[in-house]
């Protein structure tokens, strides 16, 4: 069972006021209304029952229901609900005279939530947060309606975008946090808890990986720097001997070769302990840097 199916199953069992249910049914009916007929197709049995109840309770209509096997590769069962004769009274009641619903359908925040809930039930999908990318999308038939849906979503600061795709439009949300906010907006409490648990775990894991990568990169960089310096010291010794270095630089060079894997901090501590003369990390860095510059001058000559 997909995450989208589970969210729709949860949402389809919620109970709301009559005004909110009208807005929800308006979204569903307006999406499928064509040629004086409403024909709803869904793979989710709970959604089919929800839509049937909305028509029956709000309009005293019993849609004609049929079940058939789909034509896609997994051949899921499809539930088809048909209202074969849509009257002018029904159209006005649901506010679906035009592509964009009448203002009373989305007059306040609660009604907008209800309208988006209805749209989600019949034309949206959301990726399981366990998958590699976060994604929620609505499949919309025309550009005008797609821009309207985007406007409704962005009233909640969800940063939704519109993309033209073949003969339809996709209104989508990519940000993980915004998708979690949308699930809260439509009332999918269980889905939100599951989604946020997985999202937080993934974010924590990614942050840990980034920190580990940074730490490893720092270690690799330190090793590379130490190896290059040892090559400089060996070059100086082969060319003219370490005696040309100052006493402090010569000492630093000898300890660098003796402890090739030590970091600057570790090496400064070792020198301080073994010689009895304290040297800081910064002081050691300047000595080693002088050795590097001296080796470069020798190469130039």
- The verdict on 86 and 166 lying in the same domain is yes
Is residue 192 in some structural domain? no
Structure-block tokens of residue 143: 């550009």
Query: Is residue 25 within 8 Å of 206, Cβ to Cβ?
Result: no
- The verdict on 92 and 182 lying in the same domain is yes
Is residue 202 in some structural domain? no
- The verdict on 178 and 94 lying in the same domain is yes
Is residue 76 in some structural domain? yes
| Regions in the chain scoring below 70 on pLDDT | 70-75, 132, 204-206, 211, 215
Tens of pLDDT, residues 12-37:
999 999 999 999 999 999 999 988 89
- The verdict on 85 and 40 lying in the same domain is yes
- The verdict on 63 and 151 lying in the same domain is yes
CB under 8 Å to 5, separation ≥6 — which residues?
43, 44
- The verdict on 20 and 136 lying in the same domain is yes
Which residue, of 168, 187, 206, is where some domain finishes?
Answer: 187
Is residue 37 in some structural domain? yes
- The verdict on 173 and 245 lying in the same domain is no
Is residue 89 in some structural domain? yes
Query: Is residue 126 within 8 Å of 116, Cβ to Cβ?
Result: no
Domains identified in the chain, total number: 2
Phi, psi of 140, rounded to the nearest 5 degrees? -115, 145
Count the alpha carbons within 13 Å of 152 in the hemisphere toward its beta carbon. Answer: 32
Q: What whole-number distance in Å separates Cα of residue 21 and Cα of residue 92?
A: 15
Which residue range is the domain that position 52 belongs to?
Answer: 3-187
- The verdict on 26 and 163 lying in the same domain is yes
- The verdict on 139 and 241 lying in the same domain is no
DSSP 277-292: S---HHHHHHHHHHHH
- The verdict on 115 and 262 lying in the same domain is no
- The verdict on 35 and 179 lying in the same domain is yes
Residue 237 pLDDT: 81
Residue 264 pLDDT: 81
Q: Specify the 3-state DSSP secondary structure of 267.
A: helix
Is residue 171 in some structural domain? yes
Q: What whole-number distance in Å separates Cα of residue 269 and Cα of residue 220?
A: 21
- The verdict on 167 and 233 lying in the same domain is no
Residue keyed to tokens 């009641």:
93
Residue 263 pLDDT: 81
CATH number of the domain bearing residue 14: 3.10.28.10
**Residue 254 DSSP code:** H
Query: Is residue 40 within 8 Å of 51, Cβ to Cβ?
Result: yes
């Amino acid at each position: 069972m997909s995450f989208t199916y589970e969210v729709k199953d949860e949402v389809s069992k919620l109970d709301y006021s009559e005004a909110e249910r009208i807005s929800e049914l308006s979204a569903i009916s307006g999406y499928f209304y064509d040629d004086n007929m409403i024909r709803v197709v869904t793979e989710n049995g709970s959604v089919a029952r929800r839509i049937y109840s909305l028509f029956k309770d709000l309009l005293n209509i019993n849609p004609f229901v049929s079940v058939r096997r789909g034509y896609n590769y997994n051949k899921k069962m499809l539930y088809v609900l048909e209202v074969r004769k849509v009257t002018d009274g029904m159209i006005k009641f649901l506010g679906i005279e035009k592509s964009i619903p009448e203002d009373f359908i989305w007059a306040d925040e609660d009604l907008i939530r209800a309208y988006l809930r209805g749209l989600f039930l019949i034309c949206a999908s959301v990726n399981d947060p366990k998958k590699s990318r976060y994604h929620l999308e609505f499949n919309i038939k025309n550009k005008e309606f797609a821009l309207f849906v985007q406007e409704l979503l962005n009233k909640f600061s969800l940063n939704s975008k519109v993309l033209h795709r073949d003969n339809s439009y996709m209104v989508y949300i990519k940000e993980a946090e915004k998708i979690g906010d949308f699930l809260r907006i439509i009332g999918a409490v269980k889905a939100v808890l599951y989604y946020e648990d997985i999202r937080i775990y993934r974010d924590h894991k990614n942050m840990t990986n980034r920190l580990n990568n940074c730490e490893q990169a720092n270690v690799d960089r330190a090793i590379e720097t130490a190896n290059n310096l040892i090559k400089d010291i060996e070059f100086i010794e082969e060319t003219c001997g370490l005696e040309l270095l100052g006493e402090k630089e010569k000492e630093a060079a000898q300890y660098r070769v003796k402890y090739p894997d030590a970091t600057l901090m570790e090496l400064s501590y070792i020198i301080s302990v073994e010689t009895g003369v304290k040297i800081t990390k910064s002081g050691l860095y300047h000595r080693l840097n002088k050795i590097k510059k001296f080796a470069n001058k020798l190469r130039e000559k």
